[in-house]
A and B are shown apart, each in its own frame.
Chain A
């Protein structure tokens, strides 16, 4: 799998390679591989689901659906497009948002929506995995954003509000919200990948 190296610890890519092998075994119908995948990533999947949905039971339901989908579609997973963790989180995000929208009485996405709906920049271009250290820097950066910027980003990204809906909720002009989101994201980007 070709990728841009970020000089990260070799252990991280070894984990990604192992994940890909596990999914390969799942595609062969190996139930113990599903158990391995679960034990490695259930916490991440569940936590994201819970952040979006709030309710732990709903979050577990979605997590179960995510692993069921991963099991059903293991044969379609393509290691050249993204890491397994990315794949799982994109599925998680899709299903959790769907459930959120159903709960709110809005149309969900079409049933067979491809899980790659978060724009895939370019095949083979996914850079190194997100490391624990990067997550720590991101959390600090989030905490360091002004309330206004952080709220706007969280409402957009985890609560599935459109920029217009955020503007209405916070009683700010749409342009202001757009600028806040962009400014906040620029700071987060800087924290994640120091130039």
Chain B
């Protein structure tokens, strides 16, 4: 196609309107034509100008909070939302008592968990910004940032999954949420009744071969109970569960089950 005809398309090209063969034909010509390049450049500025010239509106303050709260995520995608679908999979006998395992968010508690996780993420932003100022305060800052780095690490992992845990018969209003990356670790936050003296909540990964301890829950900064841990070696994981055990924890679950969430 001759230059005069192709030149008619410089504007359309600059606006991103040419596609397929029309586009490749034009680009082949453009590569060798200074005049068309100059036109495309000029129309490109018109396009940028149009982007600036739209009616301006101010977003809500909530957007700012969302943007800055997401600083921890390495990817450009939002966290994967793994809704747990009911599955017919084998469960060990001691979970059979938890008849209906379904990941149904527990109203207010789910909302408060979300805000707790959000606060954890906000803490991370603050901690990173303040870390240079806090360089003097080594012990406290190190302990906190180790946890916070683990949180970032897990939240940013490409294999991270979210697991919602629901309260069982002993505590129907309890709820928990885990972000679990098999490669990077696990962070877990829960809303549970206060543990009695000499008792502690323990988190388990339920696998085909039996439950594996993930660790003991501890009080977190903003209330509730939490656990942050390295990657857990657990083959064929099926669910997460929380039981109430004697202080110090136990190698295998003995106590009543408070929370369960299927993976």
Q: How far is the CA of A67 from the CA of B9 in the complex (A)?
A: 33
Instruction: Give the number of residue pairs across the A-B interface with Cβ within 8 Å.
Output: 160
Q: Tell me if B42 and A189 are in contact (CB < 8 A).
A: yes
What is the bound-complex CA distance between A31 and B12, given in angstroms? 39
0/1 string, A38-51, CB within 8 A of B gives 1: 10001110111011
- Taking CB atoms, residues of chain A closer than 8 Å to B42 are 189, 193
CA distance A145 to B162 in the complex (A): 52
CB contact list, B5-23 vs A, under 8 A: 8-9, 11-17, 19
Known: A48-B54, A68-B70, A117-B16. A31 touches B63 (CB 8 A): no
Bound-state CA distance A181–B43 (Å) is: 11
The answer on a CB contact under 8 Å between B73 and A156 is: no
Number of chain A residues close to chain B: CB under 8 A: 59
Determine the distance from Cα of A47 to Cα of B67 in the docked complex, in whole angstroms.
16
Q: Are B49 and A135 in contact (CB under 8 A)?
A: yes
B76 adjacent to A68 (CB under 8 Å): yes
Secondary structure of the A contact surface, majority rule = helix
A34 touching B74 in the complex, CB below 8 Å, given contacts A119-B44, A181-B12: no
Answer yes or no: B57 CB below 8 A from chain A CBs. Answer: yes
* Shortest Cβ distance from residue B160 to the other chain A in the assembled complex, whole angstroms: 15
Interchain residue pairs with CB less than 8 A apart (7): A64-B70, A71-B71, A72-B73, A119-B44, A157-B15, A182-B12, A185-B15
B: which residues have CB within 8 A of A? Answer: 8-9, 11-17, 19, 37, 40-60, 62-64, 66-68, 70-71, 73-76, 78, 125, 128-129
Known A71-B73, A72-B73, A139-B53; further 8 A-B contacts with Cβ < 8 A:
A30-B129, A31-B71, A69-B76, A72-B74, A130-B52, A138-B49, A138-B53, A153-B15
